[in-house]
Amino acid sequence: MPDLRPEIQYATLAQQGETAQLGMWGFIATETLFFGALIFGYFIYRHAYPVAFAEASKDAIMWCGSVNIGLLLTSSLTMVLAIEAAAAGERSALKLWLAATAALGVIFICVKGLEWYLDYADKVVPAVNFTLKPGEPPQAELFWIFYFIATGFHALHLTIGVTLICYMLLRTRWGDLTPAYYAPLEVVGLYWSFVDTVWIFLYPAIYLAGRS
Minimum distance, C-beta of residue 178 to other proteins, in the bound complex (Å): 19
CA angle 41-66-51, nearest 5°? 40
CA distance 203 to 194: 14
Rule CB under 8 A: is residue 17 a binding residue for other proteins? no
What residues between 126 and 155 interact with other proteins by CB under 8 A?
126-128, 138-139, 141-142, 145, 149
| Nearest residue (CB) to other proteins, 15 versus 163 | 15
Q: Could you say which of 2, 14, 34, 173 contacts other proteins (CB under 8 A)?
A: 34
Among 45, 61, 103, 159, binds other proteins (CB under 8 A): 45
Count residues contacting other proteins (CB under 8 A)? 73
Verify binding: residue 120, other proteins, rule CB under 8 A.
no
DSSP state of 125: E
Which of 46, 62, 42 shows the shortest CA–CA distance to 54?
46
Q: Scanning residues 153 to 192, which ones bind other proteins (CB under 8 A)?
A: 189-190
Q: Name which of residues 63 to 102 contact other proteins (CB under 8 A).
A: 66, 69-70, 73-74, 76-77, 79-81, 84
- State yes or no: residue 43 binds other proteins (CB under 8 A): yes
Scanning 122-182, the segments in alpha helix (DSSP H) are: 140-174
Q: Which is nearer to other proteins, 150 or 169 (CB)?
A: 150
Nearest approach, Cβ of residue 119 and other proteins (Å): 15
What is the b/e burial string over 53-87, where b = at least 16 CB atoms within 10 angstroms of the residue's CB? bbbbbebbbeebbeebbebbeebbbbbbbbbebbe
CA 194 vs CA 25, 75, 189: distances in Å: 10, 12, 8
